[in-house]
Amino acid sequence: MLGLSRPTLRSDLALLVMLGLVDAKPKVGYTPGSAVTPGSIAAQHLQQIKVKDVQSMAVVIREQSSVHDAVVQLFMEDVGSLVAVDDEGCMTGVISRKDLLKFTLGNTNAAAMPVSMVMTREPNVIHASPEESVIDAARKMINHQVDSLPVVVISKCSQADGRKRFDVVGRVTKTIMTKILLDLAIKG
Kindly state whether residues 29 and 57 are assigned to the same domain.
Answer: no
Kindly state whether residues 91 and 164 are assigned to the same domain.
Answer: yes
Kindly state whether residues 133 and 172 are assigned to the same domain.
Answer: yes
**What's the pTM value of the predicted model, to 2 decimals?**
0.72
| 158 inside domain | yes
pLDDT, tens digit (0-9, with 9 covering 90-100), for 135-184: 899 999 989 989 999 999 987 765 666 678 899 999 999 999 888 888 87
Tell me, what CATH number does 118's domain have?
A: 3.10.580.10
Q: Are 115 and 95 in contact (CB under 8 A)?
A: yes
pLDDT, tens digit (0-9, with 9 covering 90-100), for 90-121: 999 999 998 888 888 877 787 888 999 889 99
| 62 inside domain | yes
Kindly state whether residues 66 and 26 are assigned to the same domain.
Answer: no
Report the 10 Å Cβ neighbour count for 12.
11
Kindly state whether residues 31 and 65 are assigned to the same domain.
Answer: no
Domain limits for position 6: 1-35
Distance CA 101, CA 147 (A): 16
Which residues lie across from 66 on neighbouring strands?
114
Domain count, the chain: 2
Kindly state whether residues 2 and 56 are assigned to the same domain.
Answer: no
Contacts of 124 (CB under 8 A, 6+ apart): none
Distance CA 53, CA 134 (A): 9
Kindly state whether residues 89 and 15 are assigned to the same domain.
Answer: no
Kindly indicate the confidence band of residue 36, based on its pLDDT and cuts at 50, 70 and 90: very low
Neighbouring C-alpha atoms within 13 Å toward the C-beta of 133: 10
| 45 inside domain | no
